[in-house]
Amino acid sequence: MAKNQPVKNIPTAKAPKATVKNTAKASSGSLFRFPTSQNTSLLFDKTNYILLAIGGALIILGFILMSGGNTDPKVFNTAEIYSFRRITLAPITVLIGFAVVAIAILKKPNDTNEAI
């Protein structure tokens, strides 16, 4: 065969086209691309979030009860440091706060969309 002769057209199989629709939105210029979710309901119910807030407030209150004291570091007041408020009341308040947060996380939200 000579080098300058034209090559016959040989039929080739065409590549199949993709049938997946491109649902991605236009680029917003963000550095991160987060996947879109079809889920529109929240994980917790309103009561769960209220219990979480109450538990967090109890924890903060317990730590506030533990704090305080004399501003002079040279004075050691045993009655103030070993008081009922700091030794007993504040730790119990913090533990109750952690328990309320755990209950808020573990509480099953009310399901309003019951299956028929």
Residue 94's pLDDT band (cuts 50, 70, 90): very high
Q: Tell if the pTM clears 0.75, that is, is over it.
A: no
* Type of residue at 22: N
pLDDT at 3: 66
Residue 29's pLDDT band (cuts 50, 70, 90): low
Residue 23 has pLDDT above 90, yes or no: no
pLDDT at 14: 73
DSSP the chain: --TTSPPP----PPPPPP-----PPPP-S-S--PPP----S-SS-HHHHHHHHHHHHHHHHHHHHH----S-TT---HHHHT-HIIIIIHHHHHHHHHHHHHHHHHSPPP--S---
pLDDT at 28: 56
Q: Which residue has the higher pLDDT, 4 or 26?
A: 4
Residue 106's pLDDT band (cuts 50, 70, 90): very high
